[in-house]
Structure formats: C-alpha cells, structure tokens
Amino acid sequence: MTRRVRRNHSPAFKAKVALAAIKGEKTLAELAQQFDVHPNQIAQWRSQLLDGAAGVFGSEAKPEATAPVIDVKTLHAELHPVSRTPR
C-alpha cells in the first residue's frame, strides 16, 4: 500500500468545500468523494468557518491589533540583576 503525498490546500479551496458542507445539500461522504478530501477534514474546515464567521462582520476585537509595550530596560534588569555582594 502506498502512502499519499501530503497535500496543501489553498484557503480558497478550503472555503469552497466548507461552504458546500454548510449548505447541507450533500453529505460529508459525498463531498469527500467530490473534492477528494477526507470527511473529517471537511468537518474541521466547516467548524473553522463557522467559528470565524463572526469576525467577518467586525464584532470581535482583534487581539493582534494592539501589541503590548515592551520595556527593554526592565527585562534586561530582570535577566541580569546587579549583584550587591562584593567578590
């Protein structure tokens, strides 16, 4: 038995398959056969699409939009404390 080479699908393809799964016109098994993808993969893409759908309308705040301010001097002081004991 030969193993299939790992495939990388484009985001557009994933969206197309996930939307077809959401429509519900065909079963996951039928979609898997049509798109040559495992049914579990289709279910995962459908879940990701449904979970991220609210972000399309801007109702969720994006956490990466505001990066925390990093104080380099404080971090350096924590990593290399000044020794007060004489050597």
Per DSSP, the three-state class of 21 is helix
Length of the chain counted residue by residue: 87
pLDDT at 55 over 90: no
pLDDT band at 87, cuts 50/70/90?
low
Mean pLDDT of 67-78: 78
In the chain, what are the domain boundaries? 11-79
Tokens read off for 13? 């393809």
**In whole angstroms, how far apart are CA 13 and each of 16, 27, 54?**
5, 18, 20
What is the SS3 assignment for 44-87? HHHHHHHHHHHHHCCCCCCHHHCCCCCCHHHHHHHHCCCCCCCC
Whole-number mean pLDDT of the chain?
Answer: 85
Q: pLDDT tens across 15-31, in order?
A: 999 999 999 999 999 99
